Structure 1
């Protein structure tokens, strides 16, 4: 059997389902972020473990919006279940009231994402969750609140993955192989960013977009953007 083709078919089905079922909330997310950037706010993204790759999709890259920062889980998931860690991260990045934090967590059950959503709510910061509702609803929370991420966030976008994330079943292999959440999450992030750019243009605002540093004029263009945002973004 051609397993590579099987994965292509299955991931294509996941992406199609996102496009068919999540457009309303993707549009809402883009409108929220356009409102934020229209008043010179910074968008923050948090992803624990492999979800960090989804967060990085929006950060400091060619074709990406500049007013974006990552709340970087440098433990790469090893502290994802530790209570108190999210508060420390949020204290360090210190997003002001009225900011938006996108929290990416496939399971939505671990302390990092849940605590981040609760801390943001207490500080007047809006949250957008990118999560697997099928997975999250099949498990309990690993947090004293008893709540999962989708039960706390202001807006939820389903990555349409299955419980366990991996999608291919092969006889003789325990469980499944080949996850979907990274590709699905990256598509969701880019769909949101694309619509955010259009929303800003519709308001007569020039979106601050990076271009590749490896094309002529790229460095000069990006330096002008850095000058405006560098003092607000921890990683720049």
Structure 2
């Protein structure tokens, strides 16, 4: 008997859910990979937007060792957590806020916009998905289909707007572990699973680019031999279009 049974139960369930991602998303992962690969070949960009905790997936892909350098996080302080979590929860539900955020980013028809939201129904992410479509970008939703269907209650869902939907399979409410004596569950999974899905797509796209003879724009960890030269070249290439480099 483990001395940490709840921790063990959480990690086992997280591992099981991660193992099912390919079965749940095989077609979507293939389609998302093709979109990213096509964008890379056209020297386009992959923008990633989320609010609240979902914004962390935009930062996960940004300037990431082993990650694609063509990714651009779409970041707005009021929609993040570090300067006011309660306020950010209100802002992400506020209609009309995202248009001014997106003006900072030259999203175009050759680009991909990944919109991340577990519930997939708040105004900011819905409007971002709609804006991406209007701009001609390929829109990928990273969401929970089950949670968003339950949360919608007549509202629009990013899953219904996007060209491609990556389903993280998270339950309504996100958390997966029961605690004796506590009515609520603990142990959210959407961030871990979302990062795994994104990195799976980017890894496959990099492999396809490389196998076709086109160098995949991949950052190296700063502590690896030759990293400075590789990363400096990539930063010089993408900095004019990525305001966060």
Which TM-score applies when normalising by structure 1? 0.94
Choose the corresponding residue for 1:190, options 176, 199, 203. 199
In the alignment, structure 2 segments of 5+ residues that lack a partner are: 82-87
Distance 1:141 1:155 in 2: 22
2:141 corresponding residue in structure 1: 129
1:42 corresponding residue in structure 2: 45
- Offset at 1:94? 2.3
- Offset at 1:215? 2.5
Distance 1:119 1:65 in 2: 24
Higher mean alpha-carbon deviation, 26-35 vs 52-61, is at 52-61
In the alignment, structure 1 segments of 5+ residues that lack a partner are: none
Distance 1:161 1:17 in 2: 12
Distance 1:161 1:123 in 2: 30
Distance 1:157 1:224 in 2: 31
Which TM-score applies when normalising by structure 2? 0.91
State whether residues 52 and 73 of structure 1, in contact with CA within 8 Å, keep that contact through their aligned partners in structure 2: no
2:74 corresponding residue in structure 1: 71
1:115 corresponding residue in structure 2: 127
1:171 corresponding residue in structure 2: 180
Secondary structure of the residue aligned to 1:167 is strand
1:25 corresponding residue in structure 2: 28
- Offset at 1:62? 0.7
1:5-44: CA deviation from partner (whole Å, max 9, x where unpaired)? 1001111121122122212211110111100010100110
Distance 2:76 2:143 in 1: 17
Q: RMSD of aligned C-alpha atoms?
A: 1.5
Choose the corresponding residue for 1:204, options 201, 204, 213. 213
- Offset at 1:141? 5.9
1:68-118: CA deviation from partner (whole Å, max 9, x where unpaired)? 100013221612111111111111112122311001100001011100011
Distance 1:83 1:141 in 2: 17
* Cα distance, 1:43–1:166 mapped onto 2, change above 3 Å: same
* Cα distance, 1:35–1:141 mapped onto 2, change above 3 Å: farther
Distance 1:120 1:103 in 2: 9
Q: Does 1:149 align with 2:158?
A: yes
Question: Which runs of at least 4 in structure 1 moved beyond 3 Å after TM superposition?
Answer: none
